[in-house]
Structure 1
Amino acid sequence: MPIETLQVPTPDGQADAFAAFPDHGGRYPGVLMYSDGFGIRPVLREMALELAGHGYYVLVPNLFYRHGPAPVIELPGHIGEEARPAAFAQLMPLIEAHTAERVLRDAEAYLRFLTTRREVAAGPVAVTGYCIGGLLAMRTAAAHPGQVAAVAAFHGPVSAGGPDLYSKITAQVHLGHAEGDVTPEALAELNQALDTAGLRYTSEIYPGTIHGFTMSDTDTFSASGLKRHWDHLLSLLDRMADH
């Protein structure tokens, strides 16, 4: 399957990005994938290729393009405990500079670009995200209810959005929480807010996981957590594609 390197025009400049998609011609449902805070790196390409192998066109933008092309900071091949403090010291200012206004400007540009690719089928798209990207996915779905039919967030700080955010989402939702991030009490409170907003959703704690469990290049990786993520994500996207 090909990976195509792209430049996405945004109001603030060109965002570097890549897309993975099946190579046998045709048009496929579009998926916008937001990376975790560590950004674009080989593991994101692997995950995009895996998803593309199931029949999707997957666009992965560099969230921090305003600060330079990916990789914006140098990362080791394996992000272990000893590498985290230095990486976070560099990344936190970029994450903090990525305000809600910037997120929404970028989201509009990414969706416009995605939906005009010749390989992308007409109709609504899906958005998925990891860590901070999970919150960006939810913000994107809330800002574009007519365009986004499915949204998934994994080990993301989605409760930061609050009821105002949830009430604007019309997409089907899956939230996969790390056991280390969310207590059962906090999950019950979040799910109550999702119920109140009238969302069609699944929201659950993945047993035995800690924050970042989907990323195989980190010491927080969980193979069972990643498999559970694929099972839920593909089921969600299949439902979108069937409509």
Structure 2
Amino acid sequence: MTDVQGDVVDVPTEDGVADAYLARPADGRPRPGVLFYQDAYGLRPHLRSMADRLAAAGYTVLVPNVFYRLGRTPVVDLPEFIDPGADPTIWERLGPILAGLTSDLVKRDADAYLRWLAESPLVADGPVAITGYCMGSRLALWTAGAHPERVAAAAGFHGGALATDAPDSPHLEAPRITAELYFGHADEDPSLPPEQVARFEEALTAAGVRHTCEVYPGAHHGYTQADTPAYDREAAERHWAALLELLKRAF
């Protein structure tokens, strides 16, 4: 397996500086760039290990702290094993933070993240890919729609609220997206009911977006996150296979 180096880097944005985790092959050669969007629990050891695994497959992976306006990582102190069922205050603390991260802010920050990747000597020339988890799936879609010339592929896993009635619902980005998309929905996910799954698929098809959307049977919201009760090893490994195949097609 390829040796990986991980570093903390700072990404200048219009509103300050976002701390981020950068994982890449240790040989220092430029590799295709991947923008990795976190879930609501934030940048933490498990996400760093996921970024390391992706880097070991031959990519330079940037995981920004998207909550940087509220401080550097960790923005919210969470236990090593995150179980909201055992501690309801977790979502009481996270809810307002998520609500404050609007689609406009996401798109503005995405410009900074993509510019950082474009300027890094550790990233190969050309467009990049995105992968997002839970809320990160929405961020991936908003970014792909706002910056089609910079995004070759985008993936989202156990994303919620992808096709709502909100004026900035992520599915409305479909006409602007030129990237190939892959989405692995959780079967047991109240944040993405069947009617949203259908609406999302219909929007992508109508816009002519190259895409694959799959529902992972029996998987719960958060199935890739090994530091939570939602983790499902079989579904998580399926996600890795799908993501790596998407990246191979993109680069």
**Is TM more than 0.5 here?**
yes
- Determine if the alignment matches structure 1 residue 174 to structure 2 residue 182: yes
Question: 1:169: Cα distance to partner?
Answer: 0.5
Q: 1:104 aligns with which of 104, 107, 110?
A: 107
Contact 1:28 1:121 in 2 (8 A): yes
RMSD: 1.3
Q: What is the percent sequence identity of the aligned residues?
A: 47
What secondary structure, in the 3-state scheme, does the structure 2 residue paired with 1:2 have?
A: strand
Task: Give structure 2 stretches of 5+ with no counterpart.
Answer: none
Task: Give structure 1 stretches of 5+ with no counterpart.
Answer: none
Question: 1:162: Cα distance to partner?
Answer: 5.0
- Determine if the alignment matches structure 1 residue 159 to structure 2 residue 155: no
Q: 1:206 aligns with which of 216, 227, 231?
A: 216
Q: 1:75 aligns with which of 74, 78, 93?
A: 78
Contact 2:37 2:137 in 1 (8 A): yes
Contact 2:163 2:199 in 1 (8 A): no
Q: 2:129 aligns with which of 126, 136, 143?
A: 126
Counterpart of 1:13?
16
CA distance in 2, matches of 1:185, 1:64: 30
What secondary structure, in the 3-state scheme, does the structure 2 residue paired with 1:28 have?
A: coil
- Aligned pairs for 1:52-67 (under 5 A) are 52-67=55-70
TM-aligned CA distance change 1:55 to 1:93, over 3 Å: same
- The one-letter code matched in structure 2 to 1:175 is F
Q: 1:196 aligns with which of 206, 219, 227?
A: 206
Question: 1:4: Cα distance to partner?
Answer: 1.1
- The one-letter code matched in structure 1 to 2:230 is T
What secondary structure, in the 3-state scheme, does the structure 2 residue paired with 1:192 have?
A: helix
Q: 1:86 aligns with which of 89, 95, 112?
A: 89
Counterpart of 1:22?
25
Q: 1:42 aligns with which of 45, 49, 52?
A: 45
CA offsets per residue over residues 94-129 of structure 1, 9 Å max, x none?
Answer: 111111111111000000001111010001100111
CA distance in 1, matches of 2:120, 2:128: 12
TM-score, normalised via structure 2 length: 0.93
Contact 1:76 1:83 in 2 (8 A): no
Query: How many residues of Structure 1 are paired with residues of Structure 2 in the alignment?
Result: 241
- The one-letter code matched in structure 2 to 1:216 is A
